Amino acid sequence: MPAGDWASTLSAYVPPPLPALLRPRTEPRSPTRLVVQWARHQDEVRAAQRLRHQVFVQEMGARLPAPLAGHDIDHFDDYCEHLLVRDPASDAVIGTYRLLTPAEARRAGGLYSDNEFDLAPIAAWRPRLVELGRSCVHADWRNGATILALWGALAEFMQRNRLEAMLGCASMPMYHPGLAYGEGAANIWQQLRTRYLAAPEMQVQPYTALPLPAEGRGTPGAADVQAPALIQGYLRMGAKLLGAPAWDPDFQTADLPLMARIEDLPARYRRARD
- How high is the pLDDT of residue 40? 95
Mean pLDDT, the chain, rounded, equals 83
Q: How confident is the model at residue 220 (pLDDT cuts 50, 70, 90)?
A: low
User: Quick one: what percent of the chain has pLDDT higher than 90?
Assistant: 57
In a domain, 202, yes or no: yes
Domain membership flag for residue 269: no
Structural domain of residue 234, as residue ranges? 3-261
Domain annotation covers residue 273? no
pLDDT confidence of residue 255: 96
What is the structure's pLDDT at 214? 62
For residue 269, what pLDDT is reported?
60
Domains: count for the chain: 1
Dist CA 163 CA 132 (whole Å): 13
Taken as a whole, the chain contains a residue count of 274
pLDDT at residue 195 in the model: 95
Residue 57 lies in a domain: yes
The DSSP code sequence of 138-165 is -GGG-SHHHHHHHHHHHHHHHHHTT--E
Residue 212 pLDDT level (bands cut at 50, 70, 90): confident
Residues 6+ apart with CB under 8 A from 217: none
More confident residue, 31 or 81: 81
pLDDT at residue 270, as a whole number = 58
* 16, part of any domain: yes
For range 190-211, the mean pLDDT: 95
The pLDDT tens digits for 126-184 are 999 999 999 999 999 987 788 888 888 888 898 889 999 999 999 999 988 888 889 99
DSSP letter assigned to residue 22: B
**C-alpha distances out from residue 54 to 112, 127, 151, 169, Å:** 21, 33, 22, 19
CA dist 229 and 267 (Å) reads 21
Query: Which whole number is the average pLDDT over 105-118?
Result: 98
pLDDT at 30: 39
Inside any domain, residue 271: no
- For residue 272, being part of any structural domain is answered with no
CATH number of the structural domain spanning residue 174? 3.40.630.30
pLDDT tens sequence across 9-60: 333 333 333 332 223 333 433 334 889 999 999 999 999 999 999 999 998 8
* pLDDT tens readout for residues 225-247: 889 888 988 898 889 999 999 99
Q: Kindly report the backbone phi and psi dihedral angles of residue 241, in degrees, each rounded to the nearest multiple of 5, phi listed first.
A: -80, 130
Q: Give a yes or no: residue 99 inside a domain.
A: yes
